[in-house]
Amino acid sequence: MTPESIREMYTAVKADPDGNGVLSLEEFKQLNIRDFHKYMGSQKVKMSDLVRNSQHTWLYQGEGAHQVMRSIRQRVIHLTRLPPEIVEHSEPLQVVRYDQGGHYHAHMDSGPVFPETACTHTKLVANETAPFETSCRYITVLFYLNNVTGGGETTFPIADNRTYEEMSLIQNDIDLRDTRKHCDKGNLRVKPLQGTAVFWYNYLSDGEGWVGDLDEYSLHGGCLVTEGTKWIANNWINVDPNKRRQLQFQEEMARYTNKEEEDQSEWTVDKSYSHVHVEL
Ligand X SMILES: O=C(O)CCC(=O)C(=O)O
Binding residues vs Fe ion (CB under 5 A)? 109
- Give which of 246, 241, 259, 239 is closest to 125, Cα–Cα: 246
Question: Which partner from the list ligand X, Fe ion, none does 151 bind, CB cut-off 5 to 8 Å by kind?
Answer: none
> Which uninterrupted H or E stretch holds 190?
strand 188-190
Q: Does 109 bind ligand X (CB under 6 A)?
A: yes
Q: Does 110 bind ligand X (CB under 6 A)?
A: no
Looking at the Cβ atoms of 216 and 252, the one nearer to ligand X is 216
Subset of residues 154 to 173 that bind ligand X, contact rule: CB under 6 A: 154
Q: How far is the CB of 103 from ligand X (least distance, A)?
A: 8
Looking at the Cβ atoms of 94 and 257, the one nearer to ligand X is 94
Instruction: Tell me the β-bridge partners of 147.
Output: none
For ligand X, which residue of 15, 73, 76, 104 counts as binding (CB under 6 A)?
A: 104
Looking at the Cβ atoms of 122 and 234, the one nearer to ligand X is 234
Q: Which residue is nearest to ligand X (CB)?
A: 222
For ligand X, which residue of 122, 234, 238, 242 counts as binding (CB under 6 A)?
A: 234
Cα–Cα distances in Å, from 267 out to 77, 158, 264, 278?
31, 55, 5, 18
**Concatenated DSSP letters of 205-261:** E-SSSSEEEE-GGG-EEE--EEES-EEEEEEEEE--SSHHHHHHHHHHHHHHHHHHH
User: Which alpha helices (H) appear in the chain, and where do they start and end?
Assistant: 3-12, 25-30, 33-42, 67-80, 84-88, 123-126, 243-272
Q: What does the alpha-carbon distance between residue 221 and residue 155 come to, in Å, rounded to a whole number?
A: 5
Looking at the Cβ atoms of 7 and 52, the one nearer to ligand X is 52
Question: Which partner from the list ligand X, Fe ion, none does 96 bind, CB cut-off 5 to 8 Å by kind?
Answer: ligand X
Strands ordered across the beta sheet of 220-222: 52-53, 103-107, 220-222, 154-156, 188-190
Looking at the Cβ atoms of 122 and 202, the one nearer to Fe ion is 202
Q: What does the alpha-carbon distance between residue 111 and residue 216 come to, in Å, rounded to a whole number?
A: 10
Question: Which partner from the list ligand X, Fe ion, none does 219 bind, CB cut-off 5 to 8 Å by kind?
Answer: none
Looking at the Cβ atoms of 9 and 198, the one nearer to ligand X is 198
For ligand X, which residue of 72, 86, 211, 232 counts as binding (CB under 6 A)?
A: 232
Q: How far is the CB of 101 from Fe ion (least distance, A)?
A: 19
Looking at the Cβ atoms of 87 and 197, the one nearer to ligand X is 197
Q: How far is the CB of 148 from ligand X (least distance, A)?
A: 10
Subset of residues 209 to 228 that bind ligand X, contact rule: CB under 6 A: 220-222
Q: Does 96 bind ligand X (CB under 6 A)?
A: yes
Q: Does 53 bind ligand X (CB under 6 A)?
A: no
Instruction: Tell me the β-bridge partners of 171.
Output: 174
Q: How far is the CB of 44 from ligand X (least distance, A)?
A: 25
Q: What does the alpha-carbon distance between residue 124 and residue 175 come to, in Å, rounded to a whole number?
A: 38
- Give which of 104, 68, 107, 100 is closest to 228, Cα–Cα: 100
User: Which residues make up the interface to ligand X (CB under 6 A)?
Assistant: 96, 104, 109, 154, 220-222, 232, 234
